[in-house]
Amino acid sequence: MILTRVWQVVWVLLCVGCAGDLRDPGRFAFLYDTDGGASGSGGSSGTKDAGGQMDASSAPPAAAPACVVSLFKMKCGSIGCHASGGTQVDLVSANVERRLVGKPSSNMLVCKGRTLVATDGDSLLIDKITDPPPCGSPMPVTGSISDDERSCLTNWVSSLAD
C-alpha cells in the first residue's frame, strides 16, 4: 500500500515536472486558453488579437497529406536533390509544410522573388512540375510524376490558399 502510494506520488511529480522552454508556445494555446473556451477554438493553434479573435496568419499551415509525403520521399528526396541535409530545400523530413509555405526560393539567380508555396495561389512548387516551368528546371529532374501525384500535390497547395 505504501509502495503504491510512493509510485503514485513519483508519477504525479514526473507528469507535472517542468518541460522547459517551448520554441513555439502558441501551438499549445488551447491548453491554457484564458477565455475558458468561449471562442470555441477547439485546439486551433493561431494567436488571438485584442478582440479575442483567432489570427489565421499565425496558424501553422496544413500538414502535407500522405500522398505528398510519399511523392516527396520517392521522387524528390534523393541525395543531391531535396534530401535532408542537402543544399536544396528538404522535402523529406517531418513538417515539410513549415519549410515550404511562405518561404522564398533559395535560388536567387534563377527563380528570384518566387515563393515555394504561396497562400495566394502563385506557388513555385506547382510551377516546377509543369513543362516547361517558368524558371529553372522541371521537377523531378529525372523521371516524372503521375497524374494522381500531380493532383494530390496541387490539391494540397490549393487547400493552403483557402
Tens digits of residue pLDDT in 25-82: 555 444 443 333 333 333 333 444 444 444 445 567 889 999 999 999 999 988 888 9
Instruction: Give the pLDDT band of residue 161 (cuts 50, 70, 90).
Output: confident
| CA trace torsion 49, 51, 52, 53 (10° rounding) | -70
Whole-prediction pTM value? 0.61
Domain with 145, as residue range(s), is: 66-161
Q: Is residue 136 part of a domain?
A: yes
Kindly report the average pLDDT of the chain as a whole number: 74
Q: Is residue 137 pLDDT above 70, yes or no?
A: yes
User: Each residue of 79-106: pLDDT tens digit?
Assistant: 888 989 888 899 999 999 999 999 998 8
Residues 104 and 28 in one domain: no
Question: What's the number of domains the chain is made of?
Answer: 2
- Say how many residues make up the chain: 162
pLDDT (mean) for 140-145: 88
Q: End of a domain among 5, 31, 60?
A: 60
